Amino acid sequence: MNEKPWMMSAPALTLFGVLLLVPLCMTFFLSFNSFGFYTGIENTVSMENYAEVVSDSYFWEIFGRTFAIALATTFFCALLGVPQAYILYRLSPAWRSIVVLIVIGPLLISVVVRTLGWAILLGNNGVINSALQNWGLIERPIKMMYTSGGIVLALTHVFLPFMVLAVWAALQRKDPAVEAAAESLGARPFTIFRRIVLPQVIPGILSGSLIVFSMAASSFATPAILGGRRVKVVATTVYDEFLNTLNWPLGAAIAMLLLASVMVIMLAWNRLVERRYGEALE
Amino acid sequence: MNQNGRFSQVFNILFCAFMLAPIVVVMGVSLTPEGFLEFPPSGISLRWYQAILDNPDFIEAAWISLKLGIVAATVASVLAVPAALAIGQGKFKGREALQALFLSPLMVPTVVLGIAFLRFLSLFGLNGTFTGLVLCHAIIITPFILRLVLAAVVGLDRTVDRAAESLGASNWTIFRRITLPSILPGVIGGWVLAFITSFDELTVTVFIVNPATTTLPVRMFSHITQTTDPLVASVSALTVIFTIILMVAVDRMYGLDRLLIGEGKK
Amino acid sequence: MAFLEAHGLTKTYGETNAVDNLTFTVEKGSFVSLLGPSGCGKTTTLQMIAGFEDPTMGKIKLAGRDLSAIPARDRGLGIVFQSYALFMHMTVAENVAFGLEMRNVDKAERKRRVADALELVHLGHLANRYPRAMSGGQRQRVALARALVIEPELLLLDEPLSNLDAKLREEMQLELRRIQREAGVTTLMVTHDQSEALAMSDRVLVMEKGRLQQEDSPFEVYERPRTSFVSTFLGKSNNFEAELKSVSPTASQLLIGGRALTGPTVNLTPGTVEVAVRPERIEIVDAAEAVITGTVRERIFLGAQWMMNVATPLGDMLVIRRNAGRREAEIGDTVHLSWAPEHMRILPLNEVAA
């Protein structure tokens, strides 16, 4: 009886053990190896890669930019996604299914395609700049490509659906009669949203924020296309170390630092959420 | 009934416009008769769609992505369904750890997964092989299937199994005739979601392909980082149309919100 | 000869005995109920007979065969589950046909037997419906047809009516009994509902805390409860302590609240005993004939009868009086209560249920 679940999980467990746990451990050990331009990866054990990352302001800047972008993206996702989830919740079923397709559907469309769209929109000769110039609102194009702001804009688009879904799920868990109750007591729509609805969906906002933040902090395609070589983030730096410089140990160390910081932030966040909203999440 | 006020309705429209903007722009640009990116296009031409036919690279890559998605989603389903049944129905030590392990690819930054796979596969000479891609993709997409199947399994009434057993059904018959049909919507939904995830995957894949196994997203990515011409827009537009067809089909069958939230409400 | 026999059946979970040395028999063709409150072990007993739980000790025999080595799927019992456990993705006919398929019954015969089974439960016209689109009562009938179509030697019913609303439940009691009689199948039902057990069974087995308290016909368990638990679990009962002075082969002498009374004979040694009197057997009489005198505390009118709570030196007494179209004692009135000696049940002392 007790072996059956393990037997049923054995195939998946084998795959995950061999192809996930082992490679992750190997990468962890790789980050302690050293790299010579002529000798390649050397099987030594030292902290030199970590020392290099920690002592170099270049890497500090990259990590700082990455987390700043992730934080800004999370903020805008919450700012736009929370009201939209509530609007979605209050739409008639027929409209809702259409708006759901529009709002959540992009999640299933390749990030490369969506980022390409933003590249076309944001370029110096792009759709936005041309339109603004045609209308005479600006003289010279606003620089949006190869800026952190452009990346935040596109990442907000990429991850908004996750926020809407998380908040929407929280909305569906609440008693649908509470708004009517508040209204019967004389509350206006905005007050109902702020005082009654918002507090009840905070767990949803927090879990949505966590998803958005962790995905934004490790996003690759969007910063690679919109930031290019000039606006590097952690993921694109790792990519360059592995596939251009070929300094795998250094790339592995950077990746491990990313993994560690994302994990620490996620765990801390989870504990905070559980402590403050543990009962509400039941 | 729409209960939203005027302000909310304006917000809703602007929000939808924001979500659609980059996708509409890509679709629009793909129809340009010019040799550069322009929006709105000055005319309508299928010139850049024809150009795809002259670029076997893209067709080859699309073919690989399609095969990869189908094989990886199927492999992951075959692994995830029994695992989900074990986790969802059993009470045993290590059950939560097992579930956490199978969901962990969602937690680990994809770029970390990418280099880990690269490191591992290159040591065994599997880097760039189709087999390597299938196995790595299977790991990345297992959580999506597991979540949906788990939601379906948790809703199952165990006494139904007992009823079938009392009528003489073997364990295999119970699985095939009773359990599987009951969780089938979850399995199919999970398969489709897994397929789309695999079909669109870039960050991991970019580390573990070689020129012979380059997938469509990787091909498009490397094309965009070198030059942005309407060719990549027309390829993008085709993948968008393909995804929309799948999406509408899944929405009809399973509900898009249910698919993505992963909650098994009927 | 007994058809189903349980011998010293015991199921232990950790320290506790869910079923404790249970022995009983079921005659062929009869309808027997296992009755008791939740947690009394009745469901565990059913699970052991069905083969879903292994007994810690004891034996189960069906038609002389020992069942212990036979897995559930080969026991060939018909089971109706509390939740019905219908196969929601199959039509009614497919549900009923499933057991026959497992037995490799050929298609033509399968069809005929499914049709017969559905006819028996009056569902012939709904054969191609899905259970989702059916009412609780209809689902119940599907579950019954599915269990009966395999012509089981024994039909097990696990709280079969508990998911139905009150009105439907009464209807289904009669219906279930009719179907059982027509199919002629030996039936064991588990229930916590005493009126259900009394209405439907040939014999009732009352269980408490894993032990068999009494086995009798419905009339006997109600009229002649042998333990304090049985007297209070089946119907309402006024239980109080009394002194058993002496016992003769035809009568017994009791001291109740200081009054000497003659009661029916009993197989107990003199000492403190418990006496149970049904509320509907208590009469309101003149002071001279009173066994006990008390004050009406509460009075509820139920249409066909009055229910009164009377405070007496023996404790609160529940009195049920048929509505004879007259005025009854009011709250606060002093009333004199009495009952015929033969309506007293003298039981071994238990902690008296207040």
Q: Do chains A and C touch (3 or more CB pairs under 8 A)?
A: no
- Give the list of residues 6+ apart from residue C344 with CB closer than 8 angstroms, or none: C254, C261, C263, C264, C275, C276, C277
Cα distance between residue C11 and residue C18, in whole Å? 6
B159 and C CB contact within 8 Å: yes
Mean pLDDT value of segment A22-36:
92
Chain A neighbours, 3+ Cβ pairs < 8 A: B
Q: What count of other Cβ atoms lies within 10 Å of the Cβ of residue A212?
A: 28
Superfamily of domain C4-225: P-loop containing nucleotide triphosphate hydrolases (3.40.50.300)
Query: Is residue A281 over pLDDT 80?
Result: no
Tell me, what's the pLDDT at B261? 65
Contact B246, A154 (CB under 8 A): no
CB pairs under 8 A between B and C: 60
Cα angle, residue B208 at apex, residues B204 and B210 outer, rounded to 5°: 135
Nearest chain A Cα distance for residue B250, angstroms: 11
> Using DSSP, how many helices (H) and how many strands (E) does chain B show?
13, 0
In the DSSP assignment, the letter for residue A105 is G
| Best mutation target, B158, B160, B165, B167, to test chain C (most C CBs within 10 A) | B167
Of B159, B167, B170, the CB nearest to C83: B159
Q: CATH number, domain at B185?
A: 1.10.3720.10
Q: Which two tokens stand for residue B248?
A: 């509408």
Contact C282, C312 (CB under 8 A): no
Highest-confidence range of A40-54, A68-82, C321-335, by mean pLDDT? A68-82
C window 146-185, beta carbon within 8 A of B? 146-147, 150
B184, B185, B164: which is closest to B174 by C-alpha? B164
Helix (H, G, I), strand (E, B) or coil at C206: strand
The CA dihedral of A194, A199, A203, A205, to the nearest 10 degrees, is: 10
B window 26-65, beta carbon within 8 A of A? 26, 29, 37, 39
Tell me, what's the pLDDT at C167? 85
- Nearest chain A residue (CA) to B208: A243
Of B167, B170, B182, the CB nearest to C89: B182
B104 in a domain, yes or no? yes
Domain count, chain B: 1
Mean pLDDT value of segment A189-211:
88
Tell me, what's the pLDDT at B228? 77
ipTM for the complex shown? 0.91
Mean pLDDT value of segment B86-111:
91
| Best mutation target, B161, B166, B266, to test chain C (most C CBs within 10 A) | B166
Tell me, what's the pLDDT at B2? 57
| Best mutation target, B24, B112, B148, B258, to test chain A (most A CBs within 10 A) | B112
Token pair 């054969």: residue:
C127
B229, B87, B76, B230: which is closest to B154 by C-alpha? B87
> For residue range A147-176, what is the model confidence (pLDDT) as tens digits?
999 999 999 999 999 999 999 989 988 888
Token pair 């679990």: residue:
C233
What is the pLDDT confidence band of residue A58, given thresholds at 50, 70 and 90? very high
| Torsion region of C307: left, alpha or beta (phi above 0 gives left; psi -120 to 50 gives alpha) | beta
Domain ranges of chain C: 4-225, 236-347
CB pairs under 8 A between A and B: 260
The residue that leads in pLDDT, B257 or B1, is B257
Of C51, C85, C102, the CB nearest to B169: C102
Cα distance between residue C270 and residue C275, in whole Å? 13
B window 162-181, beta carbon within 8 A of C? 162-170, 173, 177-178, 181
Q: Which residue range is the domain that position B212 belongs to?
A: 55-261
Cα distance between residue B192 and residue B184, in whole Å? 12
Of C79, C87, C89, the CB nearest to B166: C79
The residue that leads in pLDDT, B251 or A211, is A211
Helix (H, G, I), strand (E, B) or coil at C305: strand
Query: Is residue B263 over pLDDT 70?
Result: no
Q: Which amino acid is at A14?
A: T
Cα angle, residue C108 at apex, residues C106 and C111 outer, rounded to 5°: 105
Query: Is residue B94 over pLDDT 80?
Result: yes
Cite the beta strand spans of chain C per DSSP E.
4-13, 16-26, 31-35, 57-62, 65-66, 78-80, 154-158, 186-191, 203-208, 211-216, 238-247, 251-256, 259-264, 271-277, 283-285, 292-301, 305-312, 315-322, 334-338, 345-347
Residues of B whose CB is below 8 A from A169: 261, 263
> For residue range C293-351, what is the model confidence (pLDDT) as tens digits?
999 999 999 999 999 999 999 989 999 999 988 888 889 999 999 999 889 999 988 65
B48, B231, B57, B62: which is closest to A110 by C-alpha? B62
| Best mutation target, A77, A88, A110, to test chain B (most B CBs within 10 A) | A110
Task: Kindly give the parts of chain C with pLDDT less than 70.
Answer: 1, 350-354
What is the pLDDT confidence band of residue B264, given thresholds at 50, 70 and 90? very low
Mean pLDDT value of segment B95-116:
94
Residues of C whose CB is below 8 A from B159: 81-83, 85
Mean pLDDT value of segment A31-46:
85
Helix (H, G, I), strand (E, B) or coil at C103: coil
Nearest chain B Cα distance for residue A57, angstroms: 22
Residues of A whose CB is below 8 A from B139: 15-16, 19-20
What is the pLDDT confidence band of residue B253, given thresholds at 50, 70 and 90? confident
> For residue range C24-60, what is the model confidence (pLDDT) as tens digits?
999 999 999 999 999 899 999 999 999 999 999 999 9
B246 and C CB contact within 8 Å: no
Interchain contact, B166 vs C73, CB within 8 Å: yes
C95, C53, C66, C52: which is closest to C7 by C-alpha? C66
Is 2.40.50.140 the CATH classification of the domain at C236-347? yes
- Nearest chain B residue (CA) to A227: B225
The residue that leads in pLDDT, B146 or B4, is B146
Q: What count of other Cβ atoms lies within 10 Å of the Cβ of residue C313?
A: 11
Question: Using alpha carbons only, how large is chain A's radius of gyration in Å?
Answer: 23
Length of chain C: 354
- Which domains are assigned to chain A? 58-276 (1.10.3720.10)
CA B82 from chain centre, in angstroms, equals: 20
Tell me, what's the pLDDT at A279? 58
**Measured over all CA atoms, what is the biggest interatomic distance in chain C, rounded to whole angstroms?**
78
> For residue range B140-185, what is the model confidence (pLDDT) as tens digits?
999 999 999 998 998 888 899 999 999 999 999 999 999 999 999 8
Contact C337, C257 (CB under 8 A): no
Cα distance between residue C52 and residue C85, in whole Å? 15
Residues of C whose CB is below 8 A from B173: 102
Interchain contact, B168 vs C150, CB within 8 Å: yes
Q: Which two tokens stand for residue B157?
A: 């009434």
